[in-house]
Protein backbone atom coordinates (compact mmCIF):
# COMPACT_ATOMS: atom_id res chain seq x y z
CA UNK A 1 0.00 0.00 0.00
CA UNK A 2 2.81 2.41 0.84
CA UNK A 3 4.44 1.66 -2.49
CA UNK A 4 1.26 2.71 -4.29
CA UNK A 5 1.05 5.90 -2.26
CA UNK A 6 4.71 6.68 -3.07
CA UNK A 7 4.06 5.97 -6.76
CA UNK A 8 1.05 8.30 -6.82
CA UNK A 9 3.11 10.97 -5.04
CA UNK A 10 5.93 10.65 -7.59
CA UNK A 11 3.50 10.80 -10.53
CA UNK A 12 1.79 13.84 -9.00
CA UNK A 13 5.11 15.61 -8.52
CA UNK A 14 6.17 14.86 -12.12
CA UNK A 15 2.84 16.17 -13.40
CA UNK A 16 3.17 19.31 -11.25
CA UNK A 17 6.69 20.00 -12.50
CA UNK A 18 5.70 19.47 -16.14
CA UNK A 19 2.65 21.71 -15.78
CA UNK A 20 4.64 24.47 -14.08
CA UNK A 21 7.32 24.34 -16.78
CA UNK A 22 4.67 24.76 -19.47
CA UNK A 23 3.05 27.63 -17.61
CA UNK A 24 6.41 29.32 -17.15
CA UNK A 25 7.04 29.24 -20.90
CA UNK A 26 3.51 30.46 -21.65
CA UNK A 27 3.78 33.41 -19.26
CA UNK A 28 7.25 34.31 -20.51
CA UNK A 29 6.12 34.18 -24.14
CA UNK A 30 3.09 36.36 -23.49
CA UNK A 31 5.19 38.82 -21.48
CA UNK A 32 7.66 39.13 -24.36
CA UNK A 33 4.84 39.69 -26.87
CA UNK A 34 3.30 42.34 -24.61
CA UNK A 35 6.66 44.02 -24.08
CA UNK A 36 7.44 44.34 -27.77
CA UNK A 37 3.95 45.63 -28.57
CA UNK A 38 4.35 48.30 -25.87
CA UNK A 39 7.85 49.11 -27.08
CA UNK A 40 6.65 49.57 -30.66
CA UNK A 41 3.87 51.93 -29.55
CA UNK A 42 6.33 53.92 -27.46
CA UNK A 43 8.76 54.11 -30.39
CA UNK A 44 6.05 55.52 -32.65
CA UNK A 45 5.14 58.07 -29.98
CA UNK A 46 8.78 59.15 -29.55
CA UNK A 47 9.31 59.49 -33.30
CA UNK A 48 6.23 61.64 -33.71
CA UNK A 49 7.19 63.68 -30.65
CA UNK A 50 10.64 64.35 -32.09
CA UNK A 51 9.16 65.38 -35.44
CA UNK A 52 6.73 67.74 -33.74
CA UNK A 53 9.49 69.16 -31.56
CA UNK A 54 11.63 69.98 -34.60
CA UNK A 55 8.70 71.42 -36.53
CA UNK A 56 8.67 68.76 -39.26
CA UNK A 57 5.12 67.58 -38.68
CA UNK A 58 1.64 68.69 -37.78
CA UNK A 59 -0.05 67.89 -34.53
CA UNK A 60 -3.41 66.49 -35.64
CA UNK A 61 -2.11 63.86 -38.12
CA UNK A 62 0.46 62.72 -35.54
CA UNK A 63 -2.22 62.60 -32.85
CA UNK A 64 -4.54 60.62 -35.12
CA UNK A 65 -1.82 58.07 -35.88
CA UNK A 66 -1.03 57.74 -32.18
CA UNK A 67 -4.70 57.01 -31.55
CA UNK A 68 -4.67 54.27 -34.21
CA UNK A 69 -1.35 52.58 -33.38
CA UNK A 70 -2.56 50.64 -30.30
CA UNK A 71 -5.29 49.14 -32.48
CA UNK A 72 -2.65 47.79 -34.84
CA UNK A 73 -1.06 45.85 -32.01
CA UNK A 74 -4.36 44.66 -30.56
CA UNK A 75 -4.15 41.24 -32.28
CA UNK A 76 -0.69 40.73 -30.80
CA UNK A 77 -1.93 41.67 -27.33
CA UNK A 78 -4.95 39.41 -27.76
CA UNK A 79 -2.66 36.55 -28.74
CA UNK A 80 -0.58 37.14 -25.62
CA UNK A 81 -3.70 37.16 -23.46
CA UNK A 82 -5.06 33.97 -25.02
CA UNK A 83 -1.73 32.19 -24.59
CA UNK A 84 -1.62 33.29 -20.96
CA UNK A 85 -5.16 32.03 -20.33
CA UNK A 86 -4.71 28.71 -22.06
CA UNK A 87 -1.34 28.02 -20.51
CA UNK A 88 0.07 26.65 -23.76
CA UNK A 89 3.45 27.55 -25.08
Distance CA 89, CA 83 (A): 7
pLDDT tens figures, 12-48: 999 999 989 888 887 888 788 888 888 988 999 999 9
- 10-14, 22-26, 65-69, 77-81: segment of lowest average pLDDT: 77-81
Let me know: does 3 contact 49? Beta carbons within 8 Å. Answer: no
Please give the model's pTM, rounded to 2 decimal places.
0.64
Q: Cβ(41)–Cβ(73) under 8 Å? A: yes
Amino acid sequence: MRAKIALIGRISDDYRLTTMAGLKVAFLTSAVLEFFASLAIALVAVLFGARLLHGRGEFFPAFFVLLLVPGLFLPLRTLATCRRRSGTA
